[in-house]
Structures are given as C-alpha cells and as structure tokens.
Structure 1
Amino acid sequence: MAAVKTIKLGSQGFEVSAQGLGCMSMSAFYGSPKPEPDMIALIHHAVNSGITFLDTSDIYGPHTNEILLGKALKGIRDRVQLATKFGVYFEGGKGNIRGDPAYVRAACEGSLKRLDVDCIDLYYQHRIDTRVPIEVTIGELKKLVEEGKVKYIGLSEASASTIRRAHAVHPITAVQLEWSLWSRDVEEEIIPTCRELGIGIVSYSPLGRGFFSVGPKLVENLSNDDARKNLPRFQPENLEYNTKIFDRVNEIAQRKGCTPSQLALAWVHHQGDDVCPIPGTTKLENLRQNIGALSVKLTLEEMAELQSIATSEKVKGERYTPDVPTWKDSETPPLSSWKAA
C-alpha cells in the first residue's frame, strides 16, 4: 500500500494526513458503543498506516469518545493531529448550543482533561450559537491559542458570512462540513469562500453515512438505536430514488475495479489538495478500503459522470431531521449588540 501523503490545511502551516479518521461511530449515535480494546487497536492500525488526523467531539458519548481517544493516544501523541469540537450539549433530553466565552473555556478545559493532552491541534466550534456574535466566540478561542491550549481554530457547519466574520478575528484553519456525492449544496458559496480565504476543508460523512458502501442494505441492517434510522434520506419514500444513485455509482466502481465506497471517497479526494475527508469506521476491513481510495484515480470524464448522477435534484430527502441545526441556521447577531448587552 502506498504511503499516505500529507496535505496542508489552511494557511497557518497545519499539516495532516490526506485522509483522516472520524471516530464518532466508535462511541455514539450509530448504535451501541464498540468494545474499547478493539477501537484502540483500530486507531493504532490507522496511525501505523499513515492515517494520523483523528476527529472527535465532546458530544460523542457525550465525553466517552474523547476518553477513548485519550487512551489510544498514549505513546503516539506526537504522531497524531488531533481535532475535537465544542458547542453542543444535551440537557433535558435535547441538544443545546453555546458559544459564550465562559462555555468555550470550560469546554476546552474539559476536552484537554478527557483527552489527557496539553494542547488540542485543531479545535472546532461544532455548531454556531446564534445568540452570540461569532466575533465573541472566536475572541475566546484566540485567547486559548495564545495560552497554548489550542494550536488552530476551526468551524463546523458555518455559513459563508459566519466564516468571513470569524476569519477577520483570527485565522480559521479549517471548516468541517458535509461534502459527498449526495451532499453538494456547500459547493455554491461555502467552498469558494474557504478557498478565497485560504481555509482548509474537512469533509465529514464523505460516504453518505455509509450509504455509498453498501447501498440500501445499510438501512436494512441498522439497529434501533442507530440515529441514521431517522434520517430523511433513509426513509422508504426517498430511499427508492437514492438507491438509483447508488446503483449507478456501483456500476462505475465495477468498471474501475474498486468498491463503490472507494469511488465515492476518491471523488472527494479529487476535489483538491485543500480537502481532507474523514470517513468513520469501526471495522478494520473498511479502514483498509478507505485507505485504498487514495490510490483510485479518476479522469475528468469520470468526475463529470459521477457529478451528473448525484445532482441535488436527484437526491431525495434533507441531510438531517428539522431539529438539527446546520450552516443554513448559523447567522449570529452583530458584535455591537453584544457590547450593548
């Protein structure tokens, strides 16, 4: 297997493996938590294979995924680029969002303790608090950088205008967003904004939450406690249409001599050297397949063919249920309103 190359994220000198590892599904949301020793072994295998950019969040578990990462990093911290996130918390059975300075600081201290590290390489605001001017949140993150607790700042699910305002306070190194063959609305405004400002792009769910691995079989085999069961794109009335997209991707993959998941992942890799997809998995075989996607080369004709298969008009269903905020809900008040408060 060829060595995994590194790429630069953003304009501040942050280097990561060209593909990362999303760690969420090891602990949360996609069914029961997986056995800790197995997940630590998987993380070690990823790092030894050159996949050194690891992604977690304090809400995964909550907290248990960061604790898992902390254990896995023992003895290999210097070989890893570690990203975590803050901003979402559960209370009274529902998700809440905070981006005020006191919360930012407390969240960072909590993550440092659970991860058992002195510094977080890339610290994202996971979702945008629409009550707090983005300048205020980034101002506190800037202090954490100055104190050496955080190296680089990121945003997740932020609109183009929010990204611009944040970047004016302190350089944003990366924006994490859902970008895959069937989630392409970010291409209109957010991707061009990141590129104009020299901000790296981290693509989560690049395999359509596993759909581009096995197609509709995925939905048949989801456990009752898997959050994907409720996603609009996996509901019967939408799945029928979306399966046609998978079938076409699968046809091209067979022609190419790769798996459909490798083809879908290769499509993301071919978007540019400023893009790092972070597919998650809990299985060693899937990890190997994902790494194999780095060797799949696509021609301009194949890229065009794939893009014509999965246009936004052909994909049925929203990315999330209506109660989950995304970049479309990320505008914050002007800074002047905070000062006046």
Structure 2
Amino acid sequence: MSVDEITLGDGLRTSPQGFGAMALTTVYGGTDPDSALATLEHAVDAGVTFVDTANVYGNGTNEELIGRLLTRRPGQVQVATKFGVAGNIRVGERAARGDAPYVRECAEESLRRLGTDVIDLYYLHRVDTRVAIEETVGAMAELVAEGKVRHLGLSEVTADELRRAHAVHPITAVQSEWSIWSRDVERHVVPAAAELGVGFVPYSPLGRGFLAGSVGTEIPEGDMRRTFPRFDAGNLDANQVVVETVRRVASTLGATPAQVALAWVHAQAGRWGLPVVPIPGTRRAERVDENLGALGVRLDAGAMTALDEVSAVVVGGRSADPTWVSAGREDVTSA
C-alpha cells in the first residue's frame, strides 16, 4: 500500500499515520516478541514509516524490539523514542526526571538498545517540574548538535512549556492524548502548536481500544487500563454512549468504529491548521490494515457534529494524577 507522506515541524517527513509500539508490550497483557516483530514488519509493508516507542516501554525491551525491525528494514523507518519517565508505568508507578545528565544517559542507552547511531525524533516523555524545561531541552539540543538525534519532541506539555522549549530549540512534534473522548489539548496546547508550526502526534487515538469497540464492560487483571479513571466499572458503563455513537456513524459510512475514530483525528489537521499524525497501536496485522483504511474515510458535517457532541459527555478523567497530563498542570496554573 502506498501512502503519501506528511511533514511535521522542523522538516520531519513521515507516513500520515504511525504505529504506537507500546501495544507490543505487556501493558495490555502477555505478548510474544516474534509475533510483535511480524506485526511491525507488516505495518512497514503496508506503508507505515513512523514507529513510536519509549525507554520505559517494557523496561527497554520495546526499544530492543524496534532495533530488530531497524536491522531487518534499514532506511525504511523513522523512529521516535522517549525519555523522562522513571518507574513502572504498567502498574502506575512513575516519576518524571529531566536533569541534563539524565537526558544524555537515557539517550545513550536508547541508542544502544535500538542499535542505531541516531534517533530520528527524541521526546521528553513527561516534564520534570523540578527542572527548568530550558535545561532539559538545552541538553536535548546538544544531542542534535552531536548528530545523535535529528529532531526534538515533547509529550504532554502545556502551551507555556511548549513555547519556552521552542525558544531553546525548534520542536518538531508534541505528543499528547487526543481523540474523540480526550479533547482537553484543544484548549491551549493545540493552538500553541499551530501558532509555532509544531506538528501533533496524538497517542491513544482509539481511546486505548475503547473507541474501536474492543473493550468489554470489565478490564482484566494486569491490564494497564485499570489505572485510568474512565475505565472504572461505573464510568466504563456510562461511557458506552460514546462508542455507541461511533458505531452508529461507522455504520452510516460503511466504515469500522476504529476507522471513524481515526478519521476524526485526521480531520483535526484541517480544523486547526497543523500536521497531525496519530499513532494507533495493535498486536494484529489485520488491525494495521483496518487502521490505515481510515485515511480514505471522510466524515461529513453530520458525522462530525455527532462525534463532537458525544465527546462532551465522557465520564472520568484520563489520568489518575491530573498533573501527569498537560491539562492538569494548566488547570493548576490558571487556578
């Protein structure tokens, strides 16, 4: 399958839809490395050139998996990885760290695990509020000057943090949760990115599987979704109206719920005037093809209205710790 490329900020060209490799770890249950690699290779065959990982995914094993992909597909993949989260994200134990020595330490470790000399896009995974973001991004910029990193990104930053970082070094992309049921970034972060010419990479564009209709009424033990308030039993029940609306729109358009949810995210590029490259993840090759099918889905005005309206009735926050995501810190700042 051939897909047109899209340009994020600072000239980074990628496929219009990427692949979120966190799905290929144990955060949603057990996984097999060889099957995971086969899914990644299928994604590349299907036209995906942009793969997203992080040093904390699988405690480094996800980067090692991507390293195997790079060995088998040299020159065919742009890799984004992240640093700045310490702890076990699978069970909700985490802390942000962004001091300059840690930036370099993490980059060297990621380069080794990926088996590459340069990282295409290097993100600060979470802002360490104890460290000036200028220090963190300054250390990241040194990696660019040394040829170890090509582009810089930030994850879950506020608009103010983005502007301060961008003044130190051009920021290529902001990665934050953005979907039909997670729209808080539209208040401040998305407008700031558009203003600065920064691309946007929405993670969990399918609501961690919920918007695709693949989440039941009970989350199993060992599944990371149990740590998110909107997946609590009562909230999950109340939020069924969201996925029912997505299903209804999908039926009208002859698409799948996942394709509708992704088409809505792609539509935000035109709405906000900035490049948008969502990174859905999956363990199954057929889901890769289904997700890429969203690039051909066009939502009419009626569909957009229905999806926009239902986003306002979502129950439960997207993080147990509101300050872990940008909207929580913006709310604290403006209070």
TM-score range (shorter-chain normalised) is: over 0.9
**SS in structure 2 of the partner of residue 127 of structure 1:** coil
Show the counterpart of 1:338.
none
Show the counterpart of 1:264.
261
The 5-angstrom pairing of residues 238-253 of structure 1 reads: 238-253=235-250
The 5-angstrom pairing of residues 210-229 of structure 1 reads: 210-214=209-213, 218-220=215-217, 222-229=219-226
Show the counterpart of 2:333.
none
Q: Report the Cα offset of residue 28 of structure 1.
A: 3.3
Deviations 1:6-54 (A, max 9, x none): 10001x211010000000021132112x111111111111011111100
Q: Report the Cα offset of residue 86 of structure 1.
A: 0.1
Q: Which moved more, 1:283-292 or 1:230-239?
A: 230-239
CA distance in 2, matches of 1:221, 1:316: 16
Show the counterpart of 2:66.
69
Show the counterpart of 1:337.
none
The structure 1 residue matched to 2:35, chosen from 38, 51, 64, is 38
Show the counterpart of 2:169.
170
Show the counterpart of 1:13.
11
**SS in structure 2 of the partner of residue 182 of structure 1:** coil
Q: Is the 8 A contact 1:157 1:330 kept in 2?
A: no
Q: Report the Cα offset of residue 3 of structure 1.
A: 2.2
Which amino acid in structure 1 is aligned with residue 86 of structure 2?
Answer: Y
% same residue: 47
1:297 aligns with 2:298: yes
Q: Report the Cα offset of residue 221 of structure 1.
A: 6.3
Show the counterpart of 2:285.
284
CA distance in 2, matches of 1:174, 1:93: 25
Q: Is the 8 A contact 2:80 2:119 kept in 1?
A: yes
Show the counterpart of 1:23.
21
Show the counterpart of 2:310.
309
Q: Is the 8 A contact 1:156 1:177 kept in 2?
A: yes
C-alpha spacing 1:93/1:242, structure 2 compared with 1 (3 Å): closer
CA distance in 2, matches of 1:242, 1:93: 22
Q: Report the Cα offset of residue 180 of structure 1.
A: 0.2
Q: Is the 8 A contact 2:245 2:306 kept in 1?
A: no
1:190 aligns with 2:189: yes
Which amino acid in structure 2 is aligned with residue 294 of structure 1?
Answer: L
**SS in structure 1 of the partner of residue 29 of structure 2:** coil
Q: Report the Cα offset of residue 176 of structure 1.
A: 0.1
CA distance in 2, matches of 1:101, 1:329: 25
Deviations 1:215-267 (A, max 9, x none): 6xx13464311111232111122122210111111111111101111101110
Question: Alpha carbon RMSD of aligned pairs, Å?
Answer: 1.7
C-alpha spacing 1:17/1:283, structure 2 compared with 1 (3 Å): same
Instruction: Count matched residues.
Output: 324
Show the counterpart of 1:4.
3
CA distance in 2, matches of 1:83, 1:295: 25
Show the counterpart of 2:105.
106
Q: Report the Cα offset of residue 307 of structure 1.
A: 0.7
**SS in structure 2 of the partner of residue 213 of structure 1:** coil
**SS in structure 2 of the partner of residue 176 of structure 1:** strand
Using structure 2 for the length normalisation, give the TM-score: 0.93
Q: Which moved more, 1:245-254 or 1:220-229?
A: 220-229
Q: Is the 8 A contact 2:322 2:329 kept in 1?
A: no
Q: Report the Cα offset of residue 133 of structure 1.
A: 0.3
Q: Report the Cα offset of residue 301 of structure 1.
A: 3.2
Q: Report the Cα offset of residue 329 of structure 1.
A: 5.3
Deviations 1:53-73 (A, max 9, x none): 000000001101001110121
Show the counterpart of 1:335.
none
Gaps of 5+ in 2: 331-335
Show the counterpart of 1:200.
199
Which amino acid in structure 2 is aligned with residue 40 of structure 1?
Answer: L
Q: Is the 8 A contact 2:63 2:113 kept in 1?
A: yes
Show the counterpart of 1:95.
94
CA distance in 1, matches of 2:109, 2:100: 14
Show the counterpart of 2:276.
275
Q: Report the Cα offset of residue 308 of structure 1.
A: 1.4
Q: Of Structure 1 and Structure 2, which has the larger fraction of its residues in helix?
A: 2
Show the counterpart of 1:334.
none
Show the counterpart of 1:55.
52
Gaps of 5+ in 1: 332-341
Q: Report the Cα offset of residue 303 of structure 1.
A: 1.5
